[in-house]
Structure 1
Amino acid sequence: MNPMEKAGWTPLPHSDEDLEHIKRVPDTPQTRAATYRLAWDDPDFMTRRELRPVRLQLELLKPEMTLAERGIESTVVIFGGSRIPEPGGKAWAAKNEAQKCNLEANSRYYEEARKFARLCSQHSARSDFREFVVVTGGGPGVMEAGNRGAHDVGAPTIGLNIVLPHEQAPNAYVTPDLCFNFHYFAIRKMHFVMRAKAMAVFPGGFGTLDEFFETLTLIQTGRMERVPIILFGSDFWSRAMDLDFLAEQGTISPGDQDIIDLVDTADEAWAIISRFYGL
């Protein structure tokens, strides 16, 4: 093949070629100086506060390019508490006996998230895993259950991790080359919604509520197309929030509550998605 016919060919050297060349230059005080490093290969430079706009762009581009190259066109997002254990597992986050009992009782949502992810992934296989690919925050609890359900049926599954002091490390069921890590919450949120065809929200804490309400706001304001937003756990959500009260107070419009569907099982949730898209 003519070199000019190769994809991405250029008469100028690629940056990776320059990096190899730099490794072969003589070792001198000048070449060891930080100023001599190529800018993009200099961690001290790339992590300066002035470089924040560049880092934001890189965090947007890296996952986007990878997902596009894999041909992933749409996703199903699973949000939920990192502290919810699998049935029979240890309630490691419990601070008292009441929390321990409640977290253990909520472990049923781990199983429903796992089953829901299996249903999504079985349908995803029909599109050669281009549509309805399961994506989670990549951590433990409900996130692990979502990735695990996809893994159960041999489907690829995405994890969008973020650097936190605790509770957040990749679970073992995320497809390794679809496991991403973020510094900026804002860019991570963009990746959750950019390909989302549905969102399933399980019981969780501030992080779950943050992602949930951000998505509601995007749909309510017309900045995002309507997609199924499904809450798992009628008992939990009836106490965690009261959208009817907000409508009565006039702080949301009548009918805004209808953006949400409330379910208790994975089968109910998949039926909603199937009806919405005519699957």
Structure 2
Amino acid sequence: MSQSNGRQSGRDPERHRGAVTLRRGAIPTSTADQRLLDSRGRGDWKTKDAWRALRILSEFVEGFDTLADLPSAVSVFGSARSKPDSPECRLAEELGAALARAGYAVITGGGPGVMEAANRGAREAGGLSVGLGIELPFEQGLNDWVDLAIDFRYFFARKTMFVKYAQAFVVLPGGFGTMDELFEALTLVQTGKVTRFPVVLMGTDYWRGLLDWLRDSMAAEGKIGPVDLELICLTDDVDAAVRHIVAAEAALATDQEEVREEAVARTAADQQAARRAADAGAPTGGPGRSAGVGAGDPGPDDTGAGGPGRGDADGREG
């Protein structure tokens, strides 16, 4: 459920729950996330939480269905509180345009500030501008530069979409929410949940202190490895950021093609080995029959898997 900022438009504030619009006294005082995490009312869990699980599932289904045909995309994060004329907003708008020209859709949280600037840059450059809104007890509705929007009740469903449908994260100056997305991405890359997923920080003056702390405290004390610091690309150059993303996507495509070719070669080798084993065990009475067929005497390389080509391959890849 998203909330529109009525104060800016002169209208009463409103919230949206899918097809449902709430205004004035109909707007609840808490959000779906607050109610989900509330420790009170535990006696009602058998009814409320069971039904809430279906609502959560519906958010995943709607997100997957809506974004399934999205082209290559980049998720851009940054503060909703940044002013339109701030350095980070100007940088975000330039970034959004550059990503669009490179063929990427731009995904943001759909709010104001840095998010709006990135959406605007993408939209004005002719790219696809996506906003993934979230129900909050304050602040923004979706900005006017979003072409494709989804409103979420739950942060975890929304965060899944940011990662699943993006080829990279670009993170500009922001607050707790921005930090949350940044460290979630770093954790997913570090633990191998996603591969070749670039994380770009833009705004060197803003991020330098954090990177110094990661190196001088976290890495120095062994809480992360030196290689983990290499997961982050720091730059103020929009073109350099886009080149980094394009190169990582190309490398991933190469890796995937190599894996596919290796799988094809392995399958062909297994099938050839199975045919040789079958030929070696063929009786002299006639070609084409495996030794022991119908006599309970399997050949030396018989896998018992029901035919040639199975067994070895299944055993390696199962």
TM-score normalised per structure 2: 0.61
Q: How does 1:17-56 map to 2 (within 5 A)?
A: 48-56=48-56
Tell me how far 1:49 sits from its aligned partner.
3.6
Q: 2:127 aligns with which of 155, 159, 162?
A: 155
Give the secondary structure class of the aligned counterpart of 1:159: strand
Number of equivalenced pairs: 203
Query: 2:96 — aligned with what?
Result: 117
Matched, 1:80 2:59: no
Q: 2:214 aligns with which of 214, 227, 243?
A: 243
The 8 Å contact of residues 67 and 165 in structure 2, kept in 1 or not, is answered as no
Distance in 1 separating the partners of 2:246 and 2:194: 20
Distance in 1 separating the partners of 2:73 and 2:250: 17
Give the secondary structure class of the aligned counterpart of 1:119: helix
The 8 Å contact of residues 113 and 146 in structure 1, kept in 2 or not, is answered as yes
Q: 2:158 aligns with which of 183, 188, 196?
A: 188
Q: 2:199 aligns with which of 229, 251, 265?
A: 229
Structure 2: stretches of 5+ with no match in the other structure: 1-46, 252-318
The 8 Å contact of residues 162 and 168 in structure 1, kept in 2 or not, is answered as no
Distance in 1 separating the partners of 2:58 and 2:193: 23
TM-score normalised per structure 1: 0.69
Tell me how far 1:136 sits from its aligned partner.
0.2
> Which residue identity lines up with residue 51 of structure 2 in the other structure?
L
Matched, 1:60 2:60: yes
Q: State percent identity of aligned pairs.
A: 41
Give the secondary structure class of the aligned counterpart of 2:223: coil
Distance in 1 separating the partners of 2:247 and 2:50: 48
Distance in 2 separating the partners of 1:260 and 1:207: 18
Tell me how far 1:268 sits from its aligned partner.
2.1
Matched, 1:258 2:258: no
Q: Write out per-residue CA displacement over residues 36-64 of structure 1, whole angstroms, 9 at most, x where no aligned residue.
A: xxxxxxxxxxx944311111111011121
The 8 Å contact of residues 108 and 118 in structure 2, kept in 1 or not, is answered as yes
> Which residue identity lines up with residue 170 of structure 2 in the other structure?
A
Q: Write out per-residue CA displacement over residues 94-122 of structure 1, whole angstroms, 9 at most, x where no aligned residue.
A: xxxxxxxxxxxxx1111111111111111
Distance in 1 separating the partners of 2:204 and 2:102: 26
The 8 Å contact of residues 140 and 167 in structure 1, kept in 2 or not, is answered as no
Query: 2:169 — aligned with what?
Result: 199
Give the secondary structure class of the aligned counterpart of 2:226: coil
Q: Write out per-residue CA displacement over residues 162-198 of structure 1, whole angstroms, 9 at most, x where no aligned residue.
A: 01012221001001xx111111100000000002111
Give the secondary structure class of the aligned counterpart of 2:116: helix
Query: 1:9 — aligned with what?
Result: none
Query: 1:98 — aligned with what?
Result: none
Q: 1:219 aligns with which of 189, 195, 219?
A: 189
> Which residue identity lines up with residue 117 of structure 2 in the other structure?
A
> Which residue identity lines up with residue 125 of structure 2 in the other structure?
V
Distance in 1 separating the partners of 2:77 and 2:172: 6
> Which residue identity lines up with residue 113 of structure 1 in the other structure?
A
Structure 1: stretches of 5+ with no match in the other structure: 1-46, 88-106, 125-131
- Name whichever of 263-272 and 159-168 sits farther off: 263-272
Distance in 1 separating the partners of 2:138 and 2:249: 38
> Which residue identity lines up with residue 75 of structure 1 in the other structure?
A
Give the secondary structure class of the aligned counterpart of 1:196: coil
Give the secondary structure class of the aligned counterpart of 1:249: coil
Q: Once superposed, which parts of structure 1, at least 4 consecutive aligned residues long, lie more than 6 Å away?
A: none
Distance in 1 separating the partners of 2:233 and 2:81: 24
RMSD across aligned C-alpha pairs, in angstroms? 1.6
The 8 Å contact of residues 72 and 105 in structure 2, kept in 1 or not, is answered as yes
Give the secondary structure class of the aligned counterpart of 1:83: coil
Distance in 2 separating the partners of 1:60 and 1:168: 22
Query: 1:142 — aligned with what?
Result: 114
